[in-house]
Amino acid sequence: MIYVDTNLKEENRNIKHQRSDIVIKVNDNTICNLEMNKDYYESYLVKNISYLFTLHNQDNMSGIKYSVGDVYVQINFDNFGKFGHKLINEYRLKEISSGEDYPIDRIKIYHIKLDYLQNKEYTKSENIKFIKYLKLMSAKNYGEALEIVKGGDKIMHEVFNEMMRYAKKLPFGYRDVEYEEMLLRNTFKDEAKKEDAKAMLRKGYPVEDIKDITGLPKKEIEKLKEIEKE
């Protein structure tokens, strides 16, 4: 996989403010164009699609040759609830009455409905990492992001740090010591609360009382109760 220069050729620069967000080339024949759409405006779909077709038509960009067999994939990350009925929505050209696919699969368009993550509980273990990655992208505030990244993997922590660096215009490589310490403090604080809750459960305290005393969410205490039973 390589990153491709996102600037369109000179003659195409009237399209999509001259550039896309990210373009990558995978293998020899797949081009992926990733777009973050923060706000909805009527012409955004047309602009994004125009960009995709311009990529397709442009036979040479940054020294990379495009050929007839290439597959063009556009992934739109939509941070608003305008359309789509699930998290990952895939769009293709189809015949209207039969639903038959148009016999080319060289253009694939995905819309990732980020606002869908706000109201939905995800329990499938195989999805959890992906869901957390997307949730981090759409977090509304620092507290929410911190909650998501807690217990996350190394990649998530690096992205979180990079977001902070970017927001504060700090140099690349800077580590947010304050954040890292807070993360550790919070993790230990939560662990201590859980131990307290377990002790109270063993003594037969009602869940509601444990919730009031420790501040842990009811769901969390009920989970601990199940574990204690086993």
The residues that touch another protein, with contacts defined as CB under 8 A, are: 1, 3, 6, 21-22, 24, 26-27, 30, 32, 34-38, 73, 75, 77, 79, 88, 108, 110, 112, 129-130, 133-134, 137-143, 145, 155-156, 158-159, 162-164, 166-168, 172, 178-179, 182
Cβ-defined contacts of 52-58 (< 8 Å, 24+) = 52/107, 52/109, 54/8, 54/12, 54/15, 54/16, 55/8, 55/20, 55/23, 55/31, 56/106, 56/107, 58/8, 58/9, 58/12
- Cα separation, 98 vs 141, in Å, equals 45
Query: Which residue lies nearer to another protein by CB, 26 or 227?
Result: 26
Q: How many helices (H) and strands (E) does the chain have?
A: 7, 8
Going by C-alpha positions, the residue among 110, 178, 167 that lies closest to residue 139 is 167
Query: Which residue lies nearer to another protein by CB, 142 or 205?
Result: 142
- Residue 120 C-beta: closest distance to another protein, Å: 16
- Residue 33 C-beta: closest distance to another protein, Å: 11
Query: Which residue lies nearer to another protein by CB, 172 or 202?
Result: 172
Query: Which residue lies nearer to another protein by CB, 45 or 164?
Result: 164
Query: Which residue lies nearer to another protein by CB, 131 or 207?
Result: 131
- Residue 183 C-beta: closest distance to another protein, Å: 10
- Residue 140 C-beta: closest distance to another protein, Å: 8
Token pair of 185 as six digits: 């403090």
Distances from the Cα of 168 to the Cα of 135, 171, 184, 195, angstroms: 21, 9, 22, 37
Token pair of 173 as six digits: 């490589």
- Residue 118 C-beta: closest distance to another protein, Å: 14
Burial class (CB in 10 A: 0-12, 13-18, 19+), 178: exposed
Residue type, 38: K
- Residue 198 C-beta: closest distance to another protein, Å: 30
Query: Which residue lies nearer to another protein by CB, 91 or 208?
Result: 91
